[in-house]
Structure 1
Amino acid sequence: MQEETPVPKRERPGPLTRLLVRHAPQLVGRARLLDLRPKPLIDPEHRILVVWSPKSACTAATIWFFKVIGKYEEARAYNAWPHHYRRKVYYPSDLHRRGMVDDFSGYRVIRVIRDPGHRAVSSYRHALRTGYFNKRASHVLGRPVDETAGYSFREYLSAIGLKDLSPIMSNPHHGVQTHPIERLVPPTDVINVTRDDLFSRLNGIEADLGLERTDFGNLAWFHSSESGPRKRKVGVYEDDVTDERFDRRVAAQGPWPEVEKFLTPEIGDTIRRLYAVDYDRYGSYF
């Protein structure tokens, strides 16, 4: 076990996060809220609004949404990674523009979330694998961080906790899940993918709305290597791994510890402080 680098701790939501969660609709208006990352998916034809978060089954939810709006084949042909179509084609589309000015009355507002602890572990792995957090981690920890010199889960949480985790100030992969639009348009369906069967819940919504039932078992794009769940090696670790400094190779190829090995009671308390606004909003769903 490596010696841990001391990191100053804030471990609570920043002032901007609290401001956005409580007062954003009055301060910036609906159009600006809908433009905050991650931008919701709007279908005015079927009156569906999907509020999503990175590292919370966002790829599955996005592919399902493209199927609902009749763009599944077009989006898949555009790029193997569905979020390219979302950013480059869907958001600039007339469909999305019409949704932005709709009144949302009678909309099915679908909120897809994930247990904050499980999501934090997934975000940590994503940060190691992609390297997007290396510069910030190096600055906070005061030592080089690169593909071979990583950082521990504890160090990661301490580092992200030093900056506001609001949709404006933070990378959405580790920011809060709470989206300010939810104060203006409360969700009708909250799906916690850690606990709920996402596909069954989406099929239920399709049935309610009279939509064609999606056969997720045969939805080839979702199960492809580019966009579906990746089967990575799971390592066998006897003790908790909160202070193990994993690197890019392990994050990308494994073996990777089971999520429970990261979530000690102490770390769980830290996550509850960091994502307090999410626990306040979705606590009954966790």
Structure 2
Amino acid sequence: MSQNRNLFLHPPLPMINGTKRYAIIWTPKVASNIVLTWYLRDIGLLYAANFYSEWSHRFRGDVLVKSQTYKAWLADAAANYLEYKYVKVMRDPFRRSVSSYRHALRFDDTRVQVEQKMGIDASEGFSYNTFLTFLSQLDIRNCDIHFRQQHHPVEDVVGRERIDYILLDAMEGELIDHLDQRLGDAGNADTSADEDAELKARVAHNLTHISALHHASYDGDAFDGENYADHKFACIDHKEFPGFEKFVTPQTEQLVRQIYAADFADMEHVLSKS
């Protein structure tokens, strides 16, 4: 049990509901804000999270995972993991790597990580190929969670066959609907119609806020004398940015497959069952 508990404690901590007995395996850069909005609604804390901060992950990190209730749920999941239902939301590793690259360009702390590891001045940005080289030098299982592999140690205990995977790139419809279908409609069945309508409006508000943070597509021409993967993009903040397909080259595809081998194995497992 203690060994299982340590695996459940591996960041990012699963979103656990000990009452309904489920655990959601997730990672940043994989629609995690939408997943968290659904989860907070389901456990009755969406109002509290919105009151605490407009960014729900702050509530998750500062309050939720430190609460006695969450700790009790985590201990129960570790002790009785075969009795829990597991859902994992995942994304094509290549698409996610480009999203992680954009994240690294946007924030000072991640740019510093690249600078220190690569011995470069990243204040004016760096290329996607440089970012992949940076990733290849990390322990991809235990690094910054925005770059870490999607495969979670809990999956090795539970086994792939017990996990209900939601592959964002292949799903039809909205992620909220998929979570409802797999784990039951979020929220308390005893709430009044007015309360439920207000709660749904709050969910919609959260998702609108999240959508506003998504980058616009980049419609510019190719760069003179180089491809997108070699171009040194500058530090950005909600500006237009190329889609992942712009960065695909034989070299980058090979590197991403090497770095995120465990994630590609999970994705191939999902696709083989569909």
TM-score w.r.t. length of structure 1: 0.80
2:204 matched residue in structure 1: 220
Picking from 214, 220, 240, the partner of 1:255 is 240
Q: Within 5 Å, which residues of 2 pair with 1:133-148?
A: 133-146=110-123
Change (3 A) 1:232 1:208: closer
1:14 matched residue in structure 2: none
1:17 matched residue in structure 2: none
**Unpaired stretches in structure 2, ≥5 consecutive residues:** 190-195
2:170 matched residue in structure 1: 195
**Unpaired stretches in structure 1, ≥5 consecutive residues:** 1-24
| CA drift at 1:224 | 3.9
Q: Deviations over 1:214-247 (max 9, x none)?
A: 997872342243x445243322144441011111
- Tell me if the contact between 1:76 and 1:221 (Cα under 8 Å) persists in the aligned partners: no
The AA in structure 1 aligned to 2:232 is R
2:133 aligned with 1:172: no
- How large is the RMSD of aligned CA atoms in angstroms? 2.6
| CA drift at 1:264 | 2.4
Mapped to 2, the partners of 1:199 and 1:155 lie a distance apart of 35
Mapped to 1, the partners of 2:205 and 2:22 lie a distance apart of 22
- Tell me if the contact between 1:241 and 1:261 (Cα under 8 Å) persists in the aligned partners: yes
Change (3 A) 1:247 1:209: closer
Provide the aligned length of Structure 1 versus Structure 2: 253
Q: Within 5 Å, which residues of 2 pair with 1:1-286?
A: 29-102=3-76, 103-146=80-123, 149-167=124-142, 170-186=143-159, 187-196=162-171, 197=173, 198-207=175-184, 219-225=203-209, 227-228=210-211, 230-239=213-222, 240-249=227-236, 252-285=237-270
Mapped to 2, the partners of 1:128 and 1:205 lie a distance apart of 35
2:192 matched residue in structure 1: none
Mapped to 2, the partners of 1:140 and 1:35 lie a distance apart of 27
Mapped to 2, the partners of 1:161 and 1:72 lie a distance apart of 38
Mapped to 2, the partners of 1:156 and 1:210 lie a distance apart of 41
Aligned residue for 2:126, secondary structure, equals coil
| CA drift at 1:132 | 2.2
Mapped to 1, the partners of 2:247 and 2:20 lie a distance apart of 41
The AA in structure 1 aligned to 2:206 is F
Q: Deviations over 1:70-115 (max 9, x none)?
A: 1111111111111111112211223212212211343221111111
- Tell me if the contact between 1:43 and 1:95 (Cα under 8 Å) persists in the aligned partners: no
Paired-residue identity, %: 26
- Tell me if the contact between 1:234 and 1:254 (Cα under 8 Å) persists in the aligned partners: no
Q: Deviations over 1:175-220 (max 9, x none)?
A: 1111101122244311111222422311212448997699978723
The AA in structure 1 aligned to 2:228 is V
- Tell me if the contact between 2:89 and 2:167 (Cα under 8 Å) persists in the aligned partners: yes
- Tell me if the contact between 2:38 and 2:186 (Cα under 8 Å) persists in the aligned partners: no
Which structure has greater helix proportion? Answer: 2
